[in-house]
Amino acid sequence: MTDPDELRRRAVELINKAAIVLRRNEVAEMEILDFGLGRPEVTGAQIVHIVDTDRLAVRLITLFPGQTEPEHIHPPDESGGKEETIRCAWGTLYLFGPGEPTPHPSTKPPAGETSTYTMKHEYILKPGDQVTFAPGTAHWFQAGSEGAVVWSFSTRADDVSDIFTDTKVVR
Ligand code: ZN
């Protein structure tokens, strides 16, 4: 198992390349996720919580080269559910959501997990590019060959209610 502190250190290197300044406590509290699958460099994410209020969530997500955040939805709830905008700050992000399957996508889901990835319409996000998903919209994403640093701006986030297509995922 990769040392979480090592993953955190490598994430900070990428965040520095994006010229984004974090406070020391934000780095210390960075979530190091393997989604319960035990292969953090394949399926995982390093997430800093920038804003977490009853109305708004801002996250800074760092992905290592080829690292994938697995397909999930933010379910609609009585407040309307979580609307999320994904914006690339650095690197390249391959983002998949609803729509016509892209004939020749730039990448594919992690080996052995393809059945739990149903969204096949690809967006290629470079720095400054962004896509907004309505609540209840399945999506997943993977970093390009240099990794990626990505903003997630959303309405209030209750991460534990996220529903992953892969039922083995633990959030
Ligand atoms: Zn999401």
Range 110-118, long-range pairs (CB < 8 A, 24+ positions): 110/39, 110/42, 110/43, 110/68, 113/43, 113/70, 113/166, 116/70, 116/71, 116/164, 116/165, 116/166, 116/167, 117/70, 117/71, 117/165, 118/71, 118/165
* Averaged pLDDT for residues 68-84: 90
Would you say residue 10 has pLDDT above 80? yes
Condensed to tens digits (0 to 9), the pLDDT of residues 119-167 reads 999 999 999 999 999 999 999 999 999 999 999 999 987 778 889 999 9
> What's the 16 CA to ligand 1 centre distance in angstroms?
23
> What's the 84 CA to ligand 1 centre distance in angstroms?
6
pLDDT of res. 1:
59
> What's the 10 CA to ligand 1 centre distance in angstroms?
23
* Averaged pLDDT for residues 11-22: 98
How many H helices and E strands in the chain?
2, 9
> What's the 35 CA to ligand 1 centre distance in angstroms?
13
> What's the 73 CA to ligand 1 centre distance in angstroms?
6
Instruction: Extract the tokens encoding 30.
Output: 């960075």
DSSP string, 115-151: GG----EEEEE-TT-EEEE-TT--EEEEEEEEEEEEE
> What's the 74 CA to ligand 1 centre distance in angstroms?
6
CB 99 within 8 A of CB 121: yes
pLDDT of res. 70:
97
- What is the average pLDDT score of the chain? 94
> What's the 112 CA to ligand 1 centre distance in angstroms?
22
Q: In whole angstroms, what is the distance from residue 63 CA to residue 44 CA? A: 8
